[in-house]
Amino acid sequence: MDYVFTILILIGLFVILASSFDLVIGHCGLISIAHPIFYAIGAYISAMLSKQSGMPIPLSILCGGVGALLASALVAVPALRVSGDYLLIASIGFQLGLIELAKHFHEIGGAGGLTNIPSFLIKDFGRESYVVLVLVLAVATVLFIRWLTQGPYGRMMTAMRDDELAFSMLGRNAIWVKVAVFAIGSGIAGIAGGLYAHYFRFLEPDQFGLLQSSAVLTMVVVGGMRTTMGPVIGAIVLQLMPQIITFFNLPPSILGPLQGLLFTGLVLFFMFVRPQGLLPAADLWVGRNRDGDAGHSRKEARS
Amino acid sequence: MSATLEIRGLCKSFGGIVVADSIDLDLTAGRVLGLIGPNGAGKTSLFNLVCGVVKPDAGSIVLDGQSLEALPTYERARMGLARTWQNLRLFPSLSVMDNLMLGPRSYSADSLMDVFFRPSQIRAHEAEARDRALDILERTGLSPIAQSRVQDISFGQQKLVGVARALMNDARCLMLDEPMAGVEGQTYALIQKAVRDIAASGVAICVVEHNVAFIRDLCDEGVFMFAGKVLARGSVEQLINDPHLTELYFGT
Ligand SMILES: Nc1ncnc2c1ncn2[C@@H]1O[C@H](COP(=O)(O)OP(=O)(O)O)[C@@H](O)[C@H]1O
Ligand SMILES: [Mg+2]
């Protein structure tokens, strides 16, 4: 049963990661694949705060989210002031650099990893309670991102993606929108990191490298960018698939390569056959409040 | 009467190409200035310089007494500077209505604090912008296609959407880059009427246009540009009847 709980928690965490990553890369059009480093920052901050200073875990998880948010702004502000393309390079540099740095920091476990991270909820209420917590937060994340992207902020992101120059000429501050969305997405990833840390109770720097970047990117691409359910489906499919293969009782010498092959094959398949992903996004942005309704209310107000 | 927009000694060159050669130009509230000149004269570049899309090598640009040079494009727009683009630059992923909704100087969601913590203020702001957009759509005859995608409407209508979107700014100074190119018939009359109405409401307007009839009908005054220089300023009749300018315009 614990195995099922762990799978459910991983699915929930990757739903949070994939959805928040879609906010950044899909909705806002920011080219960056360093999402896992903000997951890592949230995880390490929360782990260290609760372990060293005994901070209550809900608070330490929140601090992890804020830390990831601030760190992302630190990367995005200088990078985006140069140009949008620069963000990709700057963020990957930040990701790989920070991972290397963490390996040499013995206070946070170094390359061997950080162990004995305090657990949360499980001792008192069982693993089920943690599953519920993660899944509730996953649903909340998906709903929050849908709310944000279907409101006036989503209209801004859509226009900015279409034509940044025309967008600026209307009086909109493109750099601020990008920094803000990057920070929000990264902050959410940071909270997911805290949730990861207090369940698995072990963190190691190499977990948060390019392999995980490509996994999250694959989830978004396979599921369908800029859709509410795309990243959710992508996260579920890509979490379950490797698990399903393990049921065939194949020898480990075949199993590892097979999983790698499957991921690569999947990405290639989608890139060539269905680049829009399983759920294609609509090509016209439609907000929450249909304009037709507003037209009515206006007429009523006048009469 | 002081000018709404004052350009003094504006210079810019790209490598060897001089697109602005110490340009002095005033735009006055309520008046329409026609910018005439052959292709490559630097008309669009002048707009780009004024908007901050291109940084000048020298010179000053002052809008309503406030210096613009140090400001980024979006802040200039917020001060009441609006323009259209020669190549349209509409947002294809948005409906006509939503293209306009992004146009006010102050947008509902410019502040994230409002987005998260003042939903009622956002709703009021959106409703206000929507009323304004519906009004402009009605005046420009675009109401029937308000919900259409911009790639599903005619080229003339797209041009009109560009003008309508710029109108959302409630600008002090409006710059139109070839609003009539490729437009005919009913849309022509609609754009003409829109520009007249805006000028009458006290906005300083500058129009780049090759359509002589349009310029003659609409502009109070004209300026002839060639190779980044303002060569002449005067009535439109005067400029288009000047044999020397005509020669430059059509080439030899
Ligand atoms: N960003 C740029 N870089 C290099 N050359 C440019 C740039 N923008 C405009 N030019 C050049 O400046 C000249 C004037 O162009 P433009 O202002 O578009 O003329 P007009 O609008 O009067 O037809 C042209 O020769 C054009 O090639
Ligand atoms: Mg031009």
Residues in chain B: 252
> pTM of the full predicted structure?
0.93
Contacts 24+ apart (CB under 8 A), A58-64: A58/A120, A60/A194, A61/A191, A61/A194, A61/A195, A61/A198, A62/A191, A62/A194, A64/A190, A64/A191, A64/A193, A64/A194, A64/A197
B142-152 tens-digit pLDDT: 999 999 999 99
Q: pLDDT confidence of B68, banded at 50, 70, 90?
A: very high
What does the pLDDT look like over B93-115, one tens digit per residue?
999 999 999 999 999 999 999 99
CA of B120, closest CA in chain A: separation in Å?
Answer: 13
Ligand 1 atom closest to the Cα of residue B208 is 21
Pocket test residue of B12, B13, B17, B209 for ligand 1, highest count of atoms within 8 A of CB: B17
Q: How far is B73 from chain A (nearest CA, A)?
A: 6
Order of strands, sheet of B5-14, starting from the edge strand that comes earlier in the sequence:
B17-27, B5-14, B58-63, B66-67
Rounded to whole angstroms, the Cα distance separating B194 from B199 reads 9
A249-272 pLDDT per residue, tens:
778 788 777 777 777 788 788 888
pLDDT of residue A70: 98
Q: Which residues line ligand 1 (CB under 6 A)?
A: B 14, 17, 19, 37, 39-45
Q: Indicate yes or no: CB of B169 within 8 angstroms of CB of A295.
A: no
A vs B, Cβ pairs < 8 A, gives: 119
Q: Kindly give, in sequence order, each residue whose CB lies less than 8 Å from that of residue A202, ignoring residues fewer than 6 positions away.
A: A113, A114, A115, A117
Atom of ligand 1 nearest to the CA of B54: 1
B148 touches chain A (CB under 8 A): no
Paired with B173 in beta bridges are: B81, B204
pLDDT the model gives residue A288:
83
Which chain A residues are Cβ-neighbours of B169 within 8 angstroms? 170-171
pLDDT tens for chain A, 303 residues long, are 788 999 999 999 999 999 999 999 999 999 999 999 999 999 999 999 999 999 999 999 999 999 999 999 999 999 988 877 899 999 999 999 999 999 999 899 999 999 999 999 888 888 889 999 999 999 999 999 999 999 999 999 999 999 999 999 999 999 999 999 999 999 999 999 999 999 999 999 999 998 889 889 989 999 999 999 999 999 999 888 877 777 777 787 887 777 777 777 887 888 888 888 999 898 899 988 754 444 444 433 333
CB spacing of A285 vs B83 below 8 angstroms:
no
Quote ipTM for the complex.
0.95
| Residue among A199, A183, A230 nearest A135 (CA) | A199
As a whole-number percent, the residues of chain A with pLDDT over 90 amount to: 69
Nearest to A152 among B95, B103, B109 (CB): B109
Q: Which residue of A has its CA nearest to B124?
A: A294
What is the average per-residue pLDDT within B145-172? 95
Domains along the sequence of chain B with CATH: 5-90+154-250 (3.40.50.300)
CA of B45 to the centre of ligand 1 (A): 6
Average pLDDT estimate for B36-61 = 96
Ligand 1 atom at minimal distance to the Cα of residue B225: 22
Distance CA B234, CA A65 (A): 63
Residue nearest to atom 7 of ligand 1 (CA): B14
In the predicted structure, residue B251 carries a pLDDT above the cut 90:
no
B90 contacts A170? CB cut-off 8 A: no
- List, in order of start, the domains of chain A with CATH numbers: 2-302 (1.10.3470)
Cα A156 to ligand 1 centre (Å): 29
Question: Which atom of ligand 1 lies closest to the CA of B86?
Answer: 21
